[in-house]
Amino acid sequence: MGKALIIGAGGVASVAIHKCVQNSEVFEEICIASRTKSKCDALKAKLDGGKTKITTAQVDADNVDELIALINEIKPDIVMNLALPYQDLTIMDACLATKTNYMDTANYEPEDTAKFEYKWQWDYRERFEKAGITALLGSGFDPGVTGVFSAYALKHYFDEIEYIDILDCNGGDHGYPFATNFNPEINIREVSANGRYWENGEWIETKPMEIKRGYNFSEVGEKEMYLLYHEELESLVQNMPGLKRIRFFMTFGPSYLMHLKALENVGMTSIEPIEYEGKQIIPLQFLKAILPDPASLGPRTVGKTNIGCIFKGKKDGQDKTYYIYNVCDHQECYKEVGSQAVSYTTGVPAMIGAAMVMTGKWNKPGVFNIEEFNPDPFMEELNKWGLPWVEDFNPVLVDALPEEAKKPELVR
């Protein structure tokens, strides 16, 4: 069918590449390009020999000219951006210059401030439309599958969705007192930022980890989860008509929270540069260098993830609730692709999103968040490629009364 240029060779890219190779009917050829070429070569060495032709290249994705030269050489049908959020705009610029489709799994982030905003990428809408190419934003799990679940719920079960709670539970245990499951810098920026949710037309800001709820997750059990801001809230607020409230919760264990608090208290999570022995260093980047590499967690992580969305709204004038989620087993993922479930649940939808664009199922010109496309073919592929979903039409709600969110229970 076609050719993909994959930028990045980290945890998420590794899973996506395994899955592209499994889906060789669509991915006849892939080029793996990243800053450190040896990582691309290692993936090629592991996966070569199947039907998908694999090449590798070195690229600095902060450099638009280098990217343009590489895209012109490879001539891919799509560029899969699985590097870091800092590279989104340079890669989009190169896609525009070469009229090549684009996809990613995280919104653009300036290096010096944690913003989690789509505005920079939404500014490319007209230019992508005029160039006749598609940009698919946020094709991981959250953002990604959570947006597809929302579009699917609206299309098949509701006339109007009024409340969405996204629940991201990682019941996995890697045995370390503190480690992050994906890029530590991005992860810590996300969880140390203020919380935020949207209700009745306005954003309500909370202190980091201020709102806590307990929830009994299927196949994982009882966990404590905390309200965070997460980037898909911004696009879902725009794309779900009639929405009254949307929140995002993620589970964290006590050891993770205790270490994070201590690191924060001593300034290790700061993204403000400091001078050390005549050199400018960013404390959070230094911390990343000493924490376990997320890729090394695969063999040691046991347990399951459960990520999904609870919807509440109206169908034919009646109140209706609907919960849809995926459960993923860390060790099963490791057996299949050599990575734990957090990389797996992101890498699989990255492959599926790219396949949707390459096969022409999702190819309208412009810049789109994932919930703006027809969810049905993507939902079918989730079942096929290792992320089956479960539906519950009578779920336990996060809190019985929507008003409860206005009286947050403070974390002690």
Which of 74, 80, 83, 94 touches ligand NDP (CB under 6 A)? 83
Strand partners, 279: 276
Q: Smaller CB distance to ligand NDP: residue 291 or 302?
A: 291
Q: Which two tokens stand for residue 253?
A: 């264990």
From candidates 59, 209, 355, 356, binder to ligand NDP by CB under 6 A: 59
Site string for ligand NDP, 236-275 (x = CB under 6 A): ----------------------------------------
Q: Is 84 in the site for ligand NDP (CB under 6 A)?
A: yes
Output the smallest distance, CB 1 to ligand NDP, in A: 24
Residue 36 in contact with ligand NDP, rule: CB under 6 A: yes
| Contact of 59 with 91, CB cutoff 8 Å | no
Q: Does 287 bind ligand NDP (CB under 6 A)?
A: no
Binding-site size for ligand NDP (CB under 6 A) equals 31
* Axis-axis angle for helices 330-337, 11-22 (nearest 10): 60
Residue 5 makes CB contacts below 8 A (sequence gap 6+) with 30, 31, 33, 70, 71, 74, 76, 78, 79, 80, 100
Point out which span in 45-53, 59-67, 155-163, 362-370 binds ligand NDP (CB under 6 A).
59-67
Q: Are 96 and 63 in contact (CB under 8 A)?
A: no
Q: Which of 412, 318, 339, 367 is nearest to 89 (CA)?
A: 367
Question: Closest approach of Cβ 394 to ligand NDP, in Å?
Answer: 27
Give Cα separations from 320 to 174, 329, 353 (angstroms).
38, 30, 29
User: Do the Cβ atoms of 171 and 304 come closer than 8 Å?
Assistant: yes
Chain mean position to CA 154 = 21
Where are any strands of DSSP class E within 41-104? 53-58, 78-81, 101-104
Footprint (CB under 6 A) of ligand NDP, residues 98-137? 105-106
Among residues 141, 149, 217, 322, the one that binds ligand NDP under rule CB under 6 A: 141
Residues in 147-166 at the binding interface with ligand NDP, rule: CB under 6 A: none
Single out the segment in contact with ligand NDP by CB under 6 A; choices: 9-17, 71-79, 210-218, 356-364.
9-17
Q: Is 142 in the site for ligand NDP (CB under 6 A)?
A: yes
Pick one of 23, 47, 95, 144: the residue that binds ligand NDP (CB under 6 A).
144
Residues 409 and 206 sit within 8 Å (Cβ to Cβ): no
Binding site for ligand NDP (CB under 6 A): 8-13, 34-36, 39, 59-62, 82-85, 87, 105-106, 140-144, 182-183, 186, 294, 346
